[in-house]
Amino acid sequence: MINKLLDRLQKVKSKSHGQWTACCPAHDDKHPSLGIKLTDDGKILLHCFSMQCEVDNIVSAVGMELDDLFPPREVNYETKGRIKREYFSPAVVLECLRYESTVLMIAAQDIVNKNVNEMDADRVWLAHNRILDATTYCFK
């Protein structure tokens, strides 16, 4: 699709791999002011540095549509709706486990020294639940 676009523009000049400049077709451009970039995933990005022309105006001026700037995505219907999202890195989970085990160690020392109150008991339950959550998260 990038070649189709570049063929319809004037004064196209390659700047680097996947980047070009050209005259913006959405206004009377004498000097190239349109930046064009092809992203790694195949999307085409356009930006008019001179008149800040809207992308849909640029695309329609060369007889294309906005959809032409984006490659079609393959849809895997077997996994659609069941996307596994990774929210925490293993290092973050381990750091949480280390912190909560320290809380439990301090609570155990307080129990040995018979220096326990209700707030400590609540915090021990929280630590216990966080450790269970972390292990459950890791084995999903």
Structurally, how many domains does the chain consist of? Answer: 2
pLDDT in tens, 8-22: 999 999 998 999 999
What integer pLDDT is reported at residue 95 of this predicted model?
Answer: 86
* Residue 84 located in a structural domain: no
27 is in which domain, residue-wise? 2-69
* Residue 43 located in a structural domain: yes
Which residue would you say has higher pLDDT here, 138 or 47?
A: 47
pLDDT in tens, 76-103: 666 555 555 556 777 888 888 889 899 8
Phi, psi (rounded to 5 degrees) for 92:
-65, -40
Mark whether 94 and 49 lie in a shared domain. no
* Residue 77 located in a structural domain: no
pLDDT in tens, 48-83: 999 999 999 999 999 999 999 998 876 666 655 555
Alpha-carbon distance of 23 to 6, in angstroms, equals 11
Mean pLDDT over 122-126 rounds to 87
Mark whether 6 and 35 lie in a shared domain. yes
* Residue 133 located in a structural domain: yes
